[in-house]
Amino acid sequence: MPSYIDIHITWPDEYGHSDYRMARYEIEELVMNYNQYQALLFSYVEPELLRQWLWDVYCREPDSVEVVKIKF
């Protein structure tokens, strides 16, 4: 399981861009809450899954999500 995942988020025009560091406990929460029995975190994290997680956490839909770095 990664220590953290760095994410670059593009929000709708009025919000701009932001960078987010997803901590280990948040990664574990994502795996448990979205029934990801095999999260494939050793090779990649699907941006669509992160996009859905961000939408649920921040109650707004990001335009795009890019995984910048995965630290083990």
Give the DSSP per-residue string, 4-54.
EEEEEEE--TTT-EEEEEEEHHHHHHHHHHTT-SS--TTT---HHHHHHHH
Mean pLDDT of the chain: 83
- Domains in the chain: how many in total? 1
Question: In 3-state terms, what secondary structure has residue 61?
Answer: coil
- Tell me the sheet residues that pair with 71: 4
**Range scoring the smallest mean pLDDT among 10-19, 28-37, 47-56:** 28-37
**Range scoring the smallest mean pLDDT among 17-21, 26-30, 37-41, 58-62:** 37-41
More confident: 45 or 65:
65
Phi, psi torsion values for 7, nearest 5 degrees: -125, 140
- pLDDT tens-digit profile of 48-65? 888 899 999 989 999 999
* Domain span at 28: 4-71
pTM (2 decimals)? Answer: 0.79
